[in-house]
Amino acid sequence: MKLLLAIFFIISFSFTKPALADNSEQTTRLDDQTSVAVTIYNKDLALIKDQRKITLKKGLNNLAFRGVSAKIRPETALLRSLDKNITLQVLEQNFDFDLLTPQKLLEKHVGKQIQIITINPATGKKSTKTAVLLSTNNGTVLKVGKQIFTNPSGEYIFNKLPDNLRDQPTLVTQLTSSSNKNQTVELGYLTGGLSWKADYVAELSKDDKTLDLTGWVTLTNQSGTEYNNAKLQLVAGDVNQIKQNFRKSALYSTKGEMATTANDNMAEENLFEYHLYSLGRTTSLTNNQTKQVALLSANAVPVTKQFLLQGSNYYYHNNHGQISKKMKVGVFVKFKNSKKSQLGIPIPKGIIRVYKNDSKGHAQFIGEDSIDHTPKNEMISLKLGDAFDVTSNMKQTSFKRIKHSKPYIVAYENSYEIELKNAKTEPVVVTVQEPIPGDWEINQESHAHKKLASKIAQWQITVPAESSAKLTYKVLIRH
């Protein structure tokens, strides 16, 4: 660690210019930036539009565009002048992501002469020697005169920095300009390292009939640069990308901090087959930062609470007898994404976490569920858990093979009994859904069923308070 600090110490006093490039190269930095727009997609993808005020020479220029994302996809970069009277023509471009570190500086000087300053521990006298750097693999190997030294202590002095070693990611372009006047240029590119997701918090009312919903957008910037006063837009939808082995930068820490900002008109619009959300003000995204921006807010959204018992199809093929005791009954809440329900906007996919106040008014967590991208006027169903006071037992009361005719190969006649128990002090309605295979027909039943789909039968069973109810049915199944 002392050696690394010593290298940085000497570099800082040997080089005063921040631009690590030769004199023929013109540099543009974040200080030249006049505007930046950031559009973030769902799958670690963002579109950057970086505008800067610069002055180029008429003719050939070497322009170093500093402050770009460390995870830029350079093949997507497009540099253009926004001045209609000026024409830029890019001849070639290079993305320099080999960044300045003590280790990189050593690696670039393997096989070259450097100087090392050592201190005599007895006298404290410094001496400077010329050495050849032989290797940096698992340590440092130097040749001083005819002697070989491994991991020598001291301070290294380098005559210059390698041209392709920079202190931050830089896009270097060789281009021609039709004018030497001051102009605004825009660099657009796709990059990784920027992502967003939606998170929602809901508070269920005391009577379980309404909820208050708040949506947040969580932004994460691990792209290796910052975006100051950015125009922010978010795209909700699954954009197709060709899978490639993009370089994954390990130059930056994943540690971040949470910043929360208030909502300021997060506007929504259609974009092709996706939805675009635009923040009505600029915001800054610091590197290695997580930030939350309010997305939506709705109060008193009408909800329906549902107790749902979902069966399996395996026990319809054979004799199983006792199928299960104390089967779990799921608890769901459902609401419609409509204007009538105080919503009615496309809702991005994310996780909804639901809370409810206890008797003392303290909010308690009661469950969470994920939702997919949900267009307006669609239902949202959240499974919050399994009921404690509502249970069920199921058994097969009869099973036999019966004669069949073509085109069927086999036929069964099954009878089942489902006992539903309710320990609550108020009655509940339990929805029972059974996935019945094959070509089926219910011949007898204690409660009328509804055929939801070709393989699903559904019953609505009212279970009295602190009591039980039984559903019995006989089904003919043919394959």
pLDDT of residue 121: 82
Cα 444 versus chain centre, distance: 51
Task: Give the integer Cα–Cα distance in Å for 422 and 428.
Answer: 7
Cα→Cα distances 112→132, 163, 270, Å: 6, 15, 59
Domain boundaries, the chain: 2-99+165-191, 110-157, 193-298+344-378, 304-329+387-478
3-state secondary structure of 106: helix
Cα→Cα distances 275→119, 213, 262, 307, 373, Å: 65, 20, 21, 33, 10
Task: Give the integer Cα–Cα distance in Å for 383 and 93.
Answer: 52
Percent residues over pLDDT 70 in the chain: 86
Please name the amino acid found at residue 143. K
Secondary structure letter of residue 68 according to DSSP = -
- CB-based burial of residue 103 (10 Å sphere; 0-12 exposed, 13-18 middle, 19+ buried)? exposed
pLDDT of residue 324: 79
- CB-based burial of residue 133 (10 Å sphere; 0-12 exposed, 13-18 middle, 19+ buried)? buried
Scored b (16 or more CB within 10 A) or e, 329-359 reads bbbbbebbbbeebbbebbbbebebbbbbeee
pLDDT of residue 21: 40
How confident is the model over 449-477, as a mean pLDDT? 96
Task: Give the integer Cα–Cα distance in Å for 267 and 277.
Answer: 5
CATH topology for 304-329+387-478?
Immunoglobulin-like (2.60.40)
The answer, yes or no, to whether residue 3 has pLDDT greater than 60, is no
How confident is the model over 174-199, as a mean pLDDT? 95
Q: Which residues is 115 bridged to in the sheet? A: 130, 157
How confident is the model over 11-24, as a mean pLDDT? 43
Task: Give the integer Cα–Cα distance in Å for 352 and 382.
Answer: 8
Task: Tokens for 335, please give them.
Answer: 């609401």
Task: Give the integer Cα–Cα distance in Å for 335 and 98.
Answer: 52
pLDDT of residue 266: 63
Task: Tokens for 307, please give them.
Answer: 């107790």
Query: Which of 43, 32, 436, 3 shows the shortest CA–CA distance to 238?
Result: 43
Residue position matching structure tokens 């929602």 = 200
Lowest-confidence pick of 58-72, 97-111, 236-250, 315-329: 236-250
| pLDDT interval class at 108 (50, 70, 90) | confident
Please name the amino acid found at residue 100. L
Lowest-confidence pick of 101-115, 258-272, 354-368: 258-272
Task: Tokens for 206, please give them.
Answer: 């005391």
Task: Give the integer Cα–Cα distance in Å for 230 and 221.
Answer: 13
How confident is the model over 382-405, as a mean pLDDT? 93
